[in-house]
Structure 1
Amino acid sequence: MKNISHIEFYTETKEERLPGFAPDFPYIASCAQLDKYRDGFVPWHWHKPVELFYMESGAVEYCTPQGSTIFRAGAGGMVNSNILHMTRPRGKDEENIQLNHIFDPSFIAGEAGSRIEKKYVVPITAASQLEIIALYPDDPQQARVLGLIRESFRLREQDDGYELQLRAALSEIWLALLALSRPLLKEKQRYSKTNERIKPMMIYIHEHYAEKISIAQLAAATFSSERECFRLFHNCLHMTPVEYIKSYRLQMACQMLARGREPVTSIAQACGLGSSSYFGKVFREQTGCTPSEYRQKWQDHDSEGQC
């Protein structure tokens, strides 16, 4: 299980990149130490694999287009396939550890179009109202599922039959999640897939963040009106397009500072943040330190380890 302190994105799709994820075994386990994340939070992102997690310590807030949900130590849940989400620790100066199973639904469904996929997997992954399934220990049924999730992290790769044991454990958890979700699945789907409509706008920003981006350009590039652009960002990400552009530019600046040795002035220009003085001002507002102080802290920081 890898210890992670930041996430990366694919250049082509801007989905989260999942190191170690392989076609013949579409699964990874990770230990997210959120109190040690470079940016102090996990930015808005999405991925086709589902995310099954358990809070080992601390507390985290998950935000999706539908709202936010708090998970404290002992709680857990699942983020559905391709759902926009971001996370941030709720407490300061406390250990915040989250254990994650991240796997493509095909890992338990088998071949595309199989009976298992149609009967058990698609009812959840295709349900737009199920952005997050939350599990809390004070509910007996949910506590049982949490116990299964916690126990599943004890499986070790070196164990004989590990792959089969893991698939069996995740299948049992999935079946329990399906049972818990049935009341909501029977309701009429009231939620439109607005997160699918905002993704092209986010991708455009990810591809052009170094350039000047006007709302008119963003709307035109994604065949939307400026009004629709503002509405989608407000409803899905709870911020304006300009705020998201600035936030993404700062995320890219943080990556460049942590990984490279380019002058701060060059990084400011490469991220579309203008002069070094303006860059320093907005960077300090976001991170609480100067670009140089940030670089000194994170340069050559080892983000790989064991939980």
Structure 2
Amino acid sequence: MEVIEMALSPCCTELDENGRELNAHGTAAFPIACYHDQLEIDPVPWHWHEELEVLVVTEGTVLAAAGGEKCALPVGDGIFINAGVLHADWPASAVPCGLRSMVFHPRLVGGSADSVFWQKYLQPLLTDPTRPCAVLHREIPWQRQALEAMERAYRAVVNEVPGYEFKARAALSEMIWQLVTHAPSARPIPKKALRSADRIKRMLQYIQDHYAEDVSVDQIAASASISASECLRCFHDMIGTTPNQYLRDRRAQRAAELLCGTGLSVTEIAGQCGFQDGSYFARSFRQVYGCGPTAYRRKARRAAGG
């Protein structure tokens, strides 16, 4: 992940006690952040945040999931993700796969809650249960305009051109206008799906808090006050995996962060991430990242020039 002053930020998703992302996107005065992710190295795990997000694929094919929908996005296409929507991104294959994204608070465009911008445009979008996300294809004119507006905002913030705050806000306002006026409404999300989404958020919270411990499916289910069988159904329906697979992936992701950011030994990292057996750690890590922990650390150091 490249870092250019405040504008292009490293993406390291951490969650709070409600499963909400902890990352601060920008500042209180200018609540926006730009990211560039290489997904074959660091897939974006399931998470949610109160900010809006829009991303565009720069390399390879991205599998994006949000609001119970999954889609394959080629280079040039993107997706808008509404506030509070559970989402994740990962590569379609082992080839290089990248995306650019912007995460910004609705008030950057909408202003205060009593403004016409908020009341007429932002509030209806934020509270519309039929619009958890919107896929954006280059070949559709209004969607291309929305993507181009996003890219203007991205370039303004990353390059910090004179008056970039105004330029970014204006471009994002244009993007929101395209979404509000053109994006078709989907079918309303069923109450059962909304209930499952709330349960998933609580269970992901529990895994985030306890991934370094010996965690069982029963414990994960209890964190949402449901049965183990209902827990399995929620994971299958909402994020297409099992609790144990998600737990393994979260542990492997944390291990990857420690391999890149610390000098801890592989054995120490395995223990800190909940892997009590070294061979199981190596096998699990390889399943997620395509190589063993030592090789991953070596690749990361070479990429960083170390």
Same fold (TM over 0.5): yes
Q: Which moved more, 1:285-294 or 1:97-106?
A: 285-294
Question: Which residue number in structure 2 is paired with residue 25 of structure 1?
Answer: 30
Counterpart residue type for residue 176 of structure 2: W
Q: Which has the higher contact order (CA 8 A, sep 6+)?
A: 1
Contact in 2 for aligned 1:44/1:86 (Cα 8 Å): yes
The correspondence for 2:175, drawn from 173, 176, 193, is 173
Shift of 1:171: 1.0
Q: 1:23: how far off?
A: 1.0
1:197-243 superposed Cα distances (whole Å, 9 cap, x missing partner): 21111011111111111222222232222222112111111111111
- Please report how far the alpha carbon of residue 177 of structure 1 lies from its aligned counterpart in structure 2 after TM superposition: 0.5
Q: How does 1:28-67 map to 2 (within 5 A)?
A: 28-35=33-40, 37=41, 39=42, 41-67=43-69
* 1:143-165 deviation per Cα after TM superposition (whole angstroms, max 9, x unaligned): 33333333333435644432122
* Conserved? CA contact 1:65–1:235, under 8 Å: no
Shift of 1:122: 2.0
CA change 1:291–1:54 in 2 (3 A) is closer
Report the CA distance shift for 1:257/1:92 in structure 2 as closer, same or farther (over 3 A): closer
The verdict on how the C-alpha distance between 1:301 and 1:47 changes in structure 2, with shifts beyond 3 A counting, is farther
- Report if aligned partners of 2:67, 2:133 keep a CA contact under 8 Å in 1: no
Distance 1:148 1:81 in 2: 19
Q: Does 1:152 align with 2:153?
A: yes
Q: Report deviation, 1:45.
A: 1.6
Change (3 A) 1:111 1:212: same
Identity percentage over the alignment? 30
**Following the alignment from structure 2 to structure 1, what is the Cα–Cα distance between the partners of residues 30 and 222?**
40
Aligned residue in 2 for 1:126: 127
TM-score by length of 1: 0.85
Count of residue pairs the alignment pairs up: 297
8 Å CA contact 2:129, 2:188 repeated in 1: no
Aligned-partner Cα distance in 1 for 2:181–2:260: 45
- Aligned partners of 2:189 and 2:220: how far apart in 1? 30
Q: CA offsets, 1:33-81, max 9 Å, x none?
A: 435x3x3x22212221111223334321102352311222222231111
Select 1:15's aligned residue among 20, 29, 41: 20
Tell me the TM-score normalised to structure 2 length.
Answer: 0.85
